[in-house]
Amino acid sequence: MSPVVLVLLAILLFFLARGVWNIYVKDRASISELNSSKERLAKLQSRQETLVVSTEKLSTESGVEYEIRDRLQMARAGERQIVIVDSPGTANPTISPPKNFLQKIWDFFTIR
């Protein structure tokens, strides 16, 4: 074979290899994008299921009432609130004064 033909074949081989490499890189990128899209689709489907369940709850009167009571802290007319308080004989827990930095370090190494 003549040197001219060998040079032309080498140039042709170079361009073919470069084309194959570009296709390989694009294939890797598309596979990565496909996996990312599948993850986003799964998250969106999960979110859709959650929204459908919430919508179904709100389509009933008891569901609407629950949301009003839960979010707005409202009660029906005639309902009363019960407040439970401790008896006067119950002792208050002792509150220790705040410790300074050195006391905290000492407690860290001694209390274990």
Q: Which helix (H) or strand (E) holds 9?
A: helix 3-58
Residue 32 tokens read as 């990565």
Chain centroid to Cα 14, Å, comes to 47
- pLDDT 10s digit of each residue in the chain, 112 long? 799 999 999 999 999 999 999 999 999 999 999 999 999 999 999 999 999 999 998 899 888 888 888 888 777 788 877 778 877 766 666 777 888 888 888 888 887 5
**What pTM value is reported for the model?**
0.48
pLDDT for 78 equals 82
pLDDT for 46 equals 97
φ/ψ of 84, rounded to 5, equals -100, 125
In the three-class reduction of DSSP (H, G, I as helix; E, B as strand; rest coil), residue 83 is classed as: coil
